[in-house]
Structure 1
Amino acid sequence: MIDWKLAQSTANRFIKPGPELDSAEVAEVVDELRAAARRSVAPVESYTGLVADAASPVLVVDRPRWVEANLSTFSRIMEPVVTSLTAEREPSPAARAVSAKASGVELGALMAFLSGKVLGQFDPFHVDGGVGGRLLLVAPNIVHVERELGADPSDFRQWVCLHEETHRAQFTGVPWMRGHLQGLLDEFVDATDTSEGAVSALVTEALPELVRIIRGESDKSLSDLFQNERQSRIVDQMTGLMSLLEGHADVVMDAAGPDLIASVASIRRKFDKRRSQGTGLAKILRRLLGLEAKMRQYRDGAVFVRKVTDRVGADGFAAVWSEPAHLPTKAEIDDPARWIARVHG
């Protein structure tokens, strides 16, 4: 269904060049990011109580390598989707080849756009030699943003590493987290209705909402438009989970930062202002791709973490990591008192 090699080559063709750095500057950035990642382990563990798996690697990558890593993960995640769709109806070899190339070009162009936006990422689904997960730090993007903000480079790089190390601790320090997320993805695939009638109905209902998104009258993304009712319920669970993880990482990077980062308050202020900006086509693309919703996850999740911690303390908040049933729902992210009442009575 997707020509993965064509997706990579398309992305490579459209990826924008990063900031200009000579070989010595590249080596300096890579070395400093690796050192900052190592320095992040102890403060994150101390603040969160989560012990990351030391065997889970930290990789400093450029934009093409970030795309390559994500396409590799996507291809594994997509396997059950492909199996489900082809079980319903097997297209002719010619039709399948055309569809695969078209999807490869579309996916490659999308990944090229996203490759310039991501500072770091923990990939929980990568497995190598029995070790689950890997942390990716996208060096050119980090350098680009630190220059754009006028931030101290060492401070900004350390700040980003604190956030990403928190994600590594969440997924490798909470034994059931990776399996729980995988289970939600499996449920989402199982809920996909690939019948022609269902697909036609979704497209018909989605078109008017698509116009509203482009006009700025709707906060939905493209993925929201093509979900049935059962999938929407699963996505609500995912939204609650991802808001928790992103908000928690934002809180940790600010709370654990002052001992390591003198300018942490200034970086946060400038970074939040940058997050809220965006005009014209860029803003429309962010909305369509769900990046605007991603920004809300950071904000709402951080508010949830702070309010719960204020009410029941750090130990009370830590109940979120004890079992999947204690994860907040999307509604509880918006109303932390509901989570406190449910979990702590």
Structure 2
Amino acid sequence: MSDENSPEDDFQEMLRRMLGGDATGEGGIDPEQLKGLGIDPAQMRQMMFAFQQAMSSQSGDGISWDAARTGALHVANQDARSIGTGQRTDLARAFQLADLWLGEATVIAPIGAGPEVLTRGDWVEKTLPVWQELAEPVAESMADALTGALRSQAPEDMRDTIEAASRMLHQVGGTLFATQLGQVVGKLSKEAVSGGDVGIPVMPAGTAAILPQNFADLGAGLGIPDDQLALYFAARELAHARLFKHAKWLRLHVMSQVTDYARGIHVDTEVLEDLADRFDPTNTEELQEALQTGALIPQKTEAQELALGRLENMLALIEGWVDVVASDATSRVPSLDRIAEATRRRRAVGGPAQDALGALVGLELRPRRLREAAAMWRAVGDAVGTAARDALWDYPDLVPSGDDIDDPAALIARLEAAERGDDAPRDEMDDALAQLLADAEDDGTAGQEGDKDSDDEGPEGPRAV
């Protein structure tokens, strides 16, 4: 047997030396030297360890998401504070009262369970599978592009080595993306106040959750009594949980729209090839910056813009309904107007972590049309009542469209006609469909007349009548 190493072994050893050295920590990058760059040495050690794991993995070609989990928990558990018994009790009471008040604001049934009280680390553990599902198409695209770029930029005498190590390079590229995702999710865990706070359904359907540490930090910055703030946020979270438990189709519908959009994202190979041309494995700062700023994700295609519009409409409909129901349920709260306005602004502006997620995955989770959607739900409820309003969530084809958000009058007219038992008022779509059917019928009649004429023709021409 030959003692010579294979090209893959040689390349793997080279990367090990550059990215972390051996098990004793000798060689490679010294994480302590990175303090001057503003990089946490402990975080860098974890990332290099994840790289080594990816390189030593022999199972499959998929991306290992251990780096995302490790990095997210590292960020989430920084400055973590324990949840006191008194805080748990106060929040439990707020949720109980808010649940009673919601019974007056919506006909959608309670979830039948109390809220989950989560630490930031708990939130990471419970929501990471959703973030992974969202990011995986982009991660695969980035890993494939990185492998291709390095292959094309490698010198001729290194091509065989790169080709032999392509699986390992794919894993390393995916690990780099997963590490970046972990940082974003960890930062999100410091911004999220409740389970439904980030827009998309990151918690299981029908689950209400609260992060007391983040809630306390939020209250400190608003100058509003904690008990009033707790009632409003409890009402919002319970309304969100009620909606997703009632409309069993909704979670899959939203996540399908998100993943369909994400699958359309591809890495800008020109930018990546430019980076690969001057890539220094001992200094990944430029590649990390490209990931953080979204420079690798090209402009959205027309199809993506349409998909994003549909997704934004749905998120706005969800958040707008929650906004109206929570405001109605907490109408007794003295500071309601201030709390509701602060919450809307917070959702519209987002936080640094949401900005980072948008740059990394190319998707912003802010409901841009929140105010318009809330105004539509308010107008519908005032016109036909809460039962008819909430029944619009029963089936996907009943949910209002973007046109309904723009002008609720036609939707209200249809609902009022249905209550009276009348035919729904005709709109442009009905007229267009009727014209299409009429044209088809005319074409069929013309064809039948042509057949009749040909039947009247005998072997010697048309028969006399």
Query: How many residues are matched?
Result: 315
Gaps of 5+ in 2: 1-61, 149-164, 274-293, 416-423, 426-465
Structure 1 counterpart of 2:279: none
Distance 1:227 1:140 in 2: 37
Residue 164 of structure 1 aligns to which amino acid in structure 2?
E
Work out which of the residue numbers 97, 114, 124 in structure 1 matches 2:188.
114
CA deviation string 1:213-233 (max 9, x = no partner): xxxxxxxx9999664444433
Is 1:124–1:134's contact at 8 Å kept on the other side of the alignment?
Answer: no
Q: 3, 6, 11: which one pairs with 2:72?
A: 11
Q: How far did residue 292 of structure 1 move?
A: 7.7
- Paired letter, 2:234: C
- Note if 1:309 corresponds to 2:370: no
- Residue 207 (structure 1) aligns with: none
1:100 correspondence with 2:174: yes
Within 5 A, what are the aligned runs for 1:196-275? Answer: 200=269, 227-259=300-332, 261-272=333-344
Deviation, structure 1 residue 302: 1.4
Q: Does 1:70 align with 2:132?
A: no
Aligned to 2:115: 58
Structure (1 or 2) with the greater strand fraction: 1
Answer whether contact 1:135 1:168 (CA < 8 A) is retained: yes
Separation (CA, whole Å) in 1 of partners of 2:98 and 2:354: 33
- For the aligned residue pairs, the C-alpha RMSD in angstroms reads 4.3
Q: Structure 1 residues 34 and 308, CA, compared in 2 at 3 Å: closer, same or farther?
A: same
One-letter amino acid of the structure 1 residue matched with residue 231 of structure 2: Q
DSSP-derived class of the 1:268 partner: helix
Distance 2:336 2:256 in 1: 37
Contact residue 45 and residue 169 of structure 1 kept, 8 A: no
Superposition deviation, residue 271 in structure 1: 4.3
- Aligned partners of 2:194 and 2:396: how far apart in 1? 25
**CA deviation string 1:73-102 (max 9, x = no partner):** 334566788899999x99933112212220
CA distance in 2, matches of 1:176, 1:275: 24
Question: For the Cα contact (< 8 Å) 1:2–1:103, is it kept in 2?
Answer: no
Structure 1 unpaired stretches of 5+: 205-220
Residue 94 of structure 2: which of 36, 57, 78 is its match?
Answer: 36
Partner of 2:227: 154
Confirm or deny: 8 A CA contact 2:193 2:215 kept in the other structure: yes
Q: d(CA) in 2 for partners of 1:299 and 1:222?
A: 31
TM-score by length of 1: 0.72
| Greater Rg by CA | 2
| Pairwise CA distance, 1:306 | 1.6
- 1:298 alignment partner, one of 365, 370, 373: 370
C-alpha distance 274-291 of structure 1, shift in aligned 2 (>3 A): farther
- Flag the 1:4–1:264 CA change in 2: closer, same or farther, 3 A: same
1:106 aligned counterpart, secondary structure:
helix
Name which structure has the greater RCO, CA cutoff 8 Å, separation 6+: 1
Higher deviation after alignment, 170-179 or 117-126:
117-126
TM-score normalised per structure 2: 0.56
Out of 396, 410, 414, the residue aligned to residue 324 of structure 1 is 396
SS in 1 for 2:368: helix
Q: Cα gap change, 1:222/1:326 in structure 2, threshold over 3 Å: closer, same or farther? A: farther
